[in-house]
Amino acid sequence: MGGLATAALLLTAACGQETDAGSEPTETAAAELPAEEGPATLRFVWWGNEERAAMTNTAVDAFEAANPDITVETESVDFNSYFDRLATAVAAGDQADLITLGGAYPREYGDRGVLLDLSTVSDELDLSTLDEGALSNGFFSDTQYGVPTGVNTFGLIVNPAVFEAAGVELPDDETWDWDEFMEIATEISANAPEGTYGVEDPTAPDALDLYANQHTGVGLYSEDGGVAIEPGTVEEWFDMTTQLMESGASPEASISSELAGQPSPEQTLLGRGLAGMKFGWSNLLTAYSTAAGQDMVMLLPPGESNHEGPGMWLQASQLFTISADSEFPRSTAKLIDFLVNSTESADILGANRGIPANPEVREHLRPGLTPVQQTEYDFIERVSEHVDGDFVIGPTGSTDSVAILQRLNDQVLFGQLEPAAAGEQFVTELTAAVS
């Protein structure tokens, strides 16, 4: 399966890309880093909403209390701006010490020499405690560059209250297909109050990747770093989403275009209680539920049981990495170790960045889970037995897929481009981006 975790991951959020699990992390020879003397001041930057920022700053305060010689300067950036600002910072040699990454960015920056080989800070950062599958998400080019913040999956987030208000039953997600999905979305829109839709426009690289995997057995990318998806598959996708819009199941083009640039849960139709379904990342289930004031659930996407094979995957929701130019790599490693392995940190962060990749931390948190968090934990466990485990990480340049697909989607929805032409153009532009 080829995977691309993008803006939906944020929201990632969620957000990271599927990882090549064909090779497992191994010990690599690395130069010893010098000891650090005196006080250290670190910079830590991430993307996310205000809730994540508040949680993270509280966890950092706890770390600083336990490590009085280390000061951590923090910065939270909205997802749309995050990677542009990171690229600018890297170009200027001014990146943070602790860099949060997702999607294809870990491999892209790791292969460019921007990230630290984490075997050089093994005394400060214990990776043996983490799930092997999750840890492999940060392993590229025979080097461990990233540490998973948690386990995440891409699926369908559903507001049962909207279904109930429209008199529509929840589907059997073990058997439903895309035709039934379209029928249900249309029925919700027809019976819900004006301004409420069955589904938000689903077009995103992650959803297209899932769809392609189901229908053809391959996703956006091939294992050798090329583009695997065919123009005809993209055309079929745009045919479907156009039908969703024309039937009223999803919003008109102007709303979908505007929402594409408003990724935070509070700004989405689902988060405002104005949509029954939205494709998204499991680690945002609580955020969507909180925003809407309704407990959401996760469903397997349509088509998982009646096509070539499952399209879903499990992956690290985000990865913590260390700048290769950090003046204080050992201190930064201590901070990461605290964030991913400490039960004190877990009590503060919970599953905000995905279900913890440390099994002991997961079990520590389980008794105190809210009903929505329990739903997320149970869904992750269910998906772990459902997916086929065949991962392909997107190559360098694949992060351009978000902007390419969003632009073409706007043109299709506004009637400026036919689905067939959009399919051809998407494959052509994505191939150029990853070449």
CA distance 356 to 350: 8
10 pLDDT exceeds 70? no
323's enclosing H/E stretch is: none
212 pLDDT exceeds 80? yes
Reported as a pLDDT band with limits 50, 70 and 90, residue 30 is low
- Full set of structural domains in the chain with CATH: 40-149+315-376 (3.40.190.10), 154-313+391-434 (3.40.190.10)
CA distance 253 to 163: 23
**407 in Cβ contact with 432 (< 8 Å):** no
Q: What is the mean pLDDT of residues 46-65?
A: 96
Threshold 0.85, pTM exceeds: no
Tell me the helix, strand and coil percentages in the chain, rounded to 5.
Answer: 45, 15, 40
**366 in Cβ contact with 358 (< 8 Å):** no
| Angle, CA 8 vertex, CA 7 and CA 9 arms, to 5° | 90
Higher pLDDT, 313 or 32: 313
202: Cβ contacts below 8 Å, ≥ 6 apart: 241, 244, 250, 278, 279
Cα 115 versus chain centre, distance: 20
CA distance 277 to 168: 12
Q: What is the mean pLDDT of residues 214-228?
A: 90
Please give the pLDDT value at position 8: 34
Please give the pLDDT value at position 291: 96
Please give the pLDDT value at position 29: 43
CA distance 213 to 228: 10
Burial class (CB in 10 A: 0-12, 13-18, 19+), 217: middle
311 pLDDT exceeds 50? yes
Q: What is the mean pLDDT of residues 311-320?
A: 87
**389 in Cβ contact with 21 (< 8 Å):** yes
CA distance 266 to 269: 8
Query: What percentage of the chain has pLDDT greater than the value 90?
Result: 69
pLDDT digits (tens, 9 = 90+) for 72-117: 999 999 988 999 999 999 999 999 999 999 877 888 899 899 999 9
Burial class (CB in 10 A: 0-12, 13-18, 19+), 311: buried
Higher pLDDT, 154 or 186: 186
Secondary structure (3-state) at 98: strand
Question: Quick one: which of 418, 416, 12 has its CA closest to 204?
Answer: 12
**121 in Cβ contact with 330 (< 8 Å):** yes
Higher pLDDT, 10 or 238: 238
